[in-house]
Amino acid sequence: MDTSLNLSWLGVALVAPTIIGLIVAWPLWAVASRDSTLGSAVAAGAVMVAILVLFAREYIEVDRMRLACPTCLIRPRDFTRYSLIGIAGAVDMIIVFVLGLWYEERRHRAAT
C-alpha cells in the first residue's frame, strides 16, 4: 500500500483556492468605490473554506490508509501533511491580498 503524500493534491491546494478566491473577489473589487478590502476579505473566506475542504479530504485519505493497513507506517506523518496544506492556504491568501492591493493601486493611478 502506498502511504506517501500525493503531490498532485498539494498542487491543487496551491492553485484551486487562489482561483476560487479571485473569482469571488473580482466582482467586489470591480464595484468597490473606495478600496478592495471587502473583496479581499471575502476572497480570504473563500480560500479558507477551500483549504478546510482539502484538510478534510486529506484526513479521510489518511484514515482510509490506517483502516486498510493498521500496521503500516504512514509517511509523511499527519502533522506534516496538514502543515503543507496550511502553508499552501497561507500562500493562497497572500496572493489574493497582493493582487487586491495591485488592483486597487492600478485603479487609483488610473483615476488620478
* Residue found by looking up cell 500496521 in the block: 71
Q: What is the pLDDT of residue 33?
A: 62
Q: What is the DSSP string of 86-110?
A: HHHHHHHHHHHHHHHHHHHHHHHHH
Give percent helix, percent strand, percent coil of the chain, each to the nearest 5. Answer: 80, 0, 20
pLDDT at 17: 96
Q: Model confidence over 44-88: pLDDT tens digits?
A: 999 999 999 999 999 999 999 999 988 888 888 889 999 999 999
- What is the pTM assigned to this prediction? 0.87
| pLDDT confidence bin for 111, thresholds 50/70/90 | confident
Q: Where are the domains of the chain?
A: 7-111
Rounded Cα gap, residues 57 and 55, in angstroms: 5
Using CA atoms, how far apart are residues 40 and 28, in angstroms rounded to an integer? Answer: 8
Q: What is the pLDDT of residues 13-32, one digit of tens each?
A: 999 999 999 999 999 888 86
